Amino acid sequence: MKRLIAIVLALTLIGLAACTNKTTPPDTLPSTSESEIPSVVKTTTSPESEEMTLPTMPATETFSFESKEVRLKFEFPVSWKDKMETVEDVNRFLIFPPSQDYGVPEKKVNLSVYYFDNPWLYGDSFEKTTSEEYLDKILYLEKDKGEKIIEKSPLKMMGKDALMFIYSDVDSEGKETIYRSYFIDDEKGRCYKVSFPVEREGWDGLKTFAVEAQRVVESMNLFILTDSKPAIFEDKDVGFAFEYPGNWHAYKRDDDSWRITPPMRTYDFPYFMGGLSLSYTPPGQYGNSFEEINWPPILEAITKLPDLQIELSKIGNAQALILHTVQQAQGYSATFVWTRILIDAGEGGFYLFGYNTEKDNQAYEPFLAEVEKIVQSFRITGH
């Protein structure tokens, strides 16, 4: 889906659009009632499958789920337990419910949560982020296809100012899906965006999902970890371990790389800049020894960064290279220092840490101190 994007430095250009049909604002997020529960008829998911009965009543029992990536706690329908799929990565949390329960195509329906904190692209206040200047791009509205905002309402969520949008999306086949999206102010231009589909012709079970998704949204609460005592992250398959603050989030991504992120609102700079990445490249891909890969053209191919400054170092007992370059990213007014730390894994294999900071901005100094501790704690444990 085109909304499943990763918000990454210099890759995502997003912004906002005019709203139509403004409604009378409610004081708080409206809770779902039994009168909103639709009656759903039988449907068939495929010609080969047997006729199944979709749920006519949304689930009322729930179970708790905590997302470290977006720092929110949710109450999900118990019918989703052990059947839903989740993705937590780069400031986003995606929840795919069991599609067979609603008679919708697999992976076509989800509840998405994104955390926006990029003043260069989205503005430095909630008013700017949700202004006409940016909203078209944040919601990916293609007006030439008839996509538009149908409704806009201010409200309160989690004790914060929020805006609810209902808007349309038209796919490549010309079929329209109606979405509901909540923008929740987190101050200084930071905000949550929570979205889910509510209506599409032929997907009758979507109405039941929408009621359940609404209840999930109503259940959201901030999830805060305060214990910063060092924790150990280890990947025995690839053979490494490192220490990181216990209130940070360290995890393996779908592309077999790893990411380490601090809690939101920890530092006085955009949250997406606070991430630390780690990857592993096996022997032979760029060379068969540390000496072979320690050559500027090879290092530029590895990092995809030009004009590298190269410094020889050691991490634990392993040889390492500290690589820097200073560049202004496309679409940004600021200048950034791009840092990569290459750690020898033997026979041309290597681990690669990566992070970026704004040049001459002292707000990054506490973050860099934590990064230094993480990198220096890195140890190769063997496969």
Tally of domains in the chain:
2
Sequential DSSP letters for 71-115: TEEEEEEGGGTTT-EEEE-SSEEEEE--GGGTT--TTS--EEEEE
- Contact, 171 vs 90, CB < 8 A? no
The confidence score (pLDDT) of residue 3 equals 40
- Residue 222 CA to residue 224 CA, distance in Å, equals 6
Q: What is the pTM of this model?
A: 0.77
Of 222, 248, 278, the domain-final residue: 222
The confidence score (pLDDT) of residue 28 equals 38
In a domain? residue 15? no
Of 202, 222, 242, the domain-final residue: 222
Say if residue 199 is in the same domain as residue 295.
Answer: no
Say if residue 177 is in the same domain as residue 94.
Answer: yes
Say if residue 44 is in the same domain as residue 172.
Answer: yes
Tokens representing 13? 């250009």
Segments forming the whole domain that contains residue 131: 34-222
The confidence score (pLDDT) of residue 27 equals 36
pLDDT truncated to tens, each residue of the chain (383 aa)?
444 333 333 433 333 333 333 333 333 333 333 333 232 333 333 333 334 444 545 667 999 999 989 999 999 999 999 999 999 988 899 999 999 999 999 999 999 999 998 888 888 899 999 988 888 889 989 988 999 999 999 999 999 999 999 999 999 999 999 999 999 999 888 999 999 999 999 999 999 999 999 999 999 999 887 788 999 999 999 999 999 999 999 999 988 899 999 988 888 888 888 889 999 999 999 999 999 999 999 999 999 999 999 999 999 999 999 999 999 887 788 899 999 999 999 999 999 999 999 999 999 999 999 999 999 999 999 76
Domain with residue 332: its CATH number is 3.40.1000.10
Say if residue 46 is in the same domain as residue 120.
Answer: yes
- Residue 177 CA to residue 54 CA, distance in Å, equals 20
Say if residue 92 is in the same domain as residue 127.
Answer: yes
Say if residue 80 is in the same domain as residue 200.
Answer: yes
- Residue 33 CA to residue 374 CA, distance in Å, equals 49
Say if residue 46 is in the same domain as residue 195.
Answer: yes
In a domain? residue 144? yes
Closest CA to 242 of 358, 88, 375, 133: 375
Of 186, 204, 222, the domain-final residue: 222
Sequential DSSP letters for 5-61: ----TTT---------SBPPPPSSPPPP-GGGPPP---B-SSTTSPPBPPPSS----
In a domain? residue 307? yes
Say if residue 114 is in the same domain as residue 197.
Answer: yes
In a domain? residue 148? yes
Say if residue 372 is in the same domain as residue 324.
Answer: yes
The confidence score (pLDDT) of residue 305 equals 95
C-alpha dist (Å) from residue 74 to 67, 193, 214: 8, 15, 11
Say if residue 83 is in the same domain as residue 205.
Answer: yes
Q: Name, in order, each residue with C-beta under 8 angstroms of 366's C-beta and a sequence gap of 6 or more.
A: 267
For residue 152, the surrounding DSSP H or E stretch is: strand 149-157
Say if residue 236 is in the same domain as residue 216.
Answer: no
- Contact, 286 vs 300, CB < 8 A? no
The confidence score (pLDDT) of residue 383 equals 62
The confidence score (pLDDT) of residue 13 equals 36
- Residue 23 CA to residue 18 CA, distance in Å, equals 14
Tokens representing 328? 């202004």
Long-range contacts of 37-40, Cβ-Cβ distance < 8 Å, separation of 24 or more = 37/208, 37/211, 38/204, 38/207, 38/208, 38/211, 40/204, 40/205, 40/207, 40/208
- Residue 135 CA to residue 301 CA, distance in Å, equals 37
Q: Counting beta carbons within 10 angstroms of the beta carbon of residue 319, is it exposed (0 to 12), middle (13 to 18) or buried (19 or more)?
A: middle
Say if residue 203 is in the same domain as residue 274.
Answer: no
In a domain? residue 9? no
Instruction: Report CA Rg, the chain.
Output: 23
